[in-house]
Amino acid sequence: MDGETAETLESLVEGRIQRSRHDLRLDGRDLTPDFEAALRRKGYTPVKVRDLRLRPGLRHPAWVLRGGEATFGHVFLEKFEEGSRRPLFGSVVRDGRGDWALMLTRSSRETVWVNLAEALPFDEDRPSPGR
């Protein structure tokens, strides 16, 4: 991988390029392993949603990698019912109704790359701006 491509991947992880859903294929090559290396260098670790230990009212930046694509979002505790919360990944990409286009709950077997060192407060009663 050339230096320019590596720098682009680092910029994407850091948010210097708008984080959304991104194709990780370039000239017929899948750059997912290179993106995973960039994630590790920036403090992201792979984890299943069910294994996350999160605090209410905080969300953490996260990526889901699948099929040569990287989808950015956040992991957080969603108020499921009054007095009950569940860990969740919600993408910044929305569907036509304004809900998360990609949502992973504790039953998911997929890996989420999370940076637990970065935490942002959010309104637990309105976790999705489209709702």
Q: Where are the domains of the chain?
A: 3-121
pLDDT attached to residue 16: 87
pLDDT at 131 over 60: no
The residue written with tokens 């109704």 in the block is 97
What is the reported pLDDT for 128? 61
- Answer whether residue 52 shows pLDDT above 90: yes
The rounded mean pLDDT for the chain is: 91
At 84, the pLDDT band (50, 70, 90 cuts) reads confident
Nearest CA among 72, 53, 49, 60 for reference residue 122: 60
Mean predicted confidence (pLDDT) in 50-66 = 95
